[in-house]
Structure 1
Amino acid sequence: MTISDWLVIAAIVIAPILAVQIQKFIESKKEKRARKMQIFRALMATRATPLYPQHVEALNMIDIEFFENKKITDAWKLLLDNFANYPKDPKDTNYQAQLNSSMEKSTDLLVDLLYEMAKHLNYKFDKVHIKRGAYIPKGHADYILDQEFIRRALVGVLLGQVPIPIKVVNQPE
């Protein structure tokens, strides 16, 4: 057998194996990007409602799917650190001001995180669009605020911190 014959046999054996390996590599890259896109979509879709479970879940997936991107993981660490340093004592005289400041800082840090993720995924978003471009209908916002008000009031009643007012309207004669 000549060298040419050996090369033909090697090509016949190696080509299908190589093709399968290349296809697996391409599929792996696509799946990895799809997972990153799923996280980015969830965060963009819920950026106006950061307490939604989908938002929290997506934030917690950043370390897994974006581990190789230092700018993204650093931005996430800064946001997480800010969450950990929210004011804790509602009885503190500056509590509301500190809470508002922490919330505004969280918004800015989330914008920075989403901006880095957008760049990594080849989206051309600016920070103003990320911060101001979220839509939440007034009805949804009112619903969320009402739920929070009811929850807090009920907790106060159940903890014995707030009494239940009782008013007699009609007295039987």
Structure 2
Amino acid sequence: MTIADCLMIAAVLAGPIIAVQLTRYLDNRREVRDRKLQVFKTLMATRSYMVSWDHVVALNRIDLEFNGRNRKEKAVIEAWRAYLDLLGDRNLSPEQWGGKRIDLMVELLHKMGQVLDYDFDKTHIKNSSYSPKAHGNIEEQQEAIRRGLIELLDGKRAVPMYVIDPPPRGPQA
């Protein structure tokens, strides 16, 4: 048996193993990217609805899906931490807080887009989402209903009652 024969046998035996390992490696990379992409797409789709459950869940997945191993992903984590710090800050006026929240969210989405090879500028991220006024009205009405119902159940509010056309009294009835 020659060296060429030994190399041929080794190649025949190792070929399928290498192919399977390479396929698994590529599948894992694709899965990691898909998870990051799902977080990004959810945040982009819900950037006008920052209190939606999907938005909050996606925010909480950022530090799970992005890591600080490379410079771009480290920038995402830093932007997420800055945004998270603001969310807990109650020292700013509501106007200042709201403006800063939008700016930090835009920065976070911009950094995530860079990691995922999206070429969105910050102006596009900030101004290109659609949120119908009716959605805002519905949210306000639902909040008013929830508040009123809680006050009613807590005994802080009574149900107004009006008697209209009372039934006749006395012998005529």
Q: TM-score range by the shorter chain?
A: 0.7 to 0.9
How many residue pairs are counted as aligned between the two chains?
Answer: 163
User: In the alignment, does 2:18 pair up with 1:8?
Assistant: no
Residues 86-97 of structure 1: matches in 2 within 5 Å?
Answer: 86=90
Judge conservation of contact 2:152–2:159 (CA < 8 Å) in 1.
Answer: no
**What are the superposed Cα offsets for residues 126-153 of structure 1, whole Å, 9 maximum, x if unpaired?**
1111111111122212111211222233
The letter for the 2-side match of 1:136 is S
Alignment match, 2:126? 131
Paired with 1:19 and 1:165, the residues of 2 have a C-alpha distance of 72
* 1:143 lines up with 2:135 in the alignment: no
Identify the residue that residue 171 of structure 2 maps to in structure 1: none
| Alpha-carbon shift at residue 49 of structure 1 (Å) | 0.3
Instruction: Give identity over the alignment, percent.
Output: 41
Partners of 2:15 and 2:161 lie apart in 1 by: 86
Ranges in structure 1 where 5+ consecutive residues have no aligned partner: 88-96
Pairing 1:80–2:75 present: no
Alignment of 1:8-157 (within 5 A): 8-68=8-68, 69-86=73-90, 98-157=93-152
Secondary structure of 2:93's aligned partner? helix
What is the distance in 2 between the residues matched to 1:169 and 1:14? 90
For residues 58 and 99 of structure 2, what CA distance do their matches in structure 1 show? Answer: 20
**Aligned partner of 1:139: which letter?**
A
Equivalent residue for 1:91?
A: none
* Letter paired with 1:112: E
Q: Distance in 2 between matches of 1:159 and 1:101?
A: 33
Amino acid at match of 1:164: A
Secondary structure of 1:57's match?
helix
Q: Which has the larger displacement, 144-153 or 17-26?
A: 144-153
- 1:165 CA drift (Å): 6.7
- Code of the residue aligned with 1:141 in structure 2: it is G
| Structure 2 alignment gaps of length 5 or more | 169-173
Q: 1:136 to 1:64 in 2, by over 3 A?
A: same
> How far off its partner does 1:86 sit?
2.9
SS at match of 1:116: helix
Indicate which of 160, 166, 170 corresponds to 2:160.
166
Larger Rg, first or second structure (1 or 2): 2
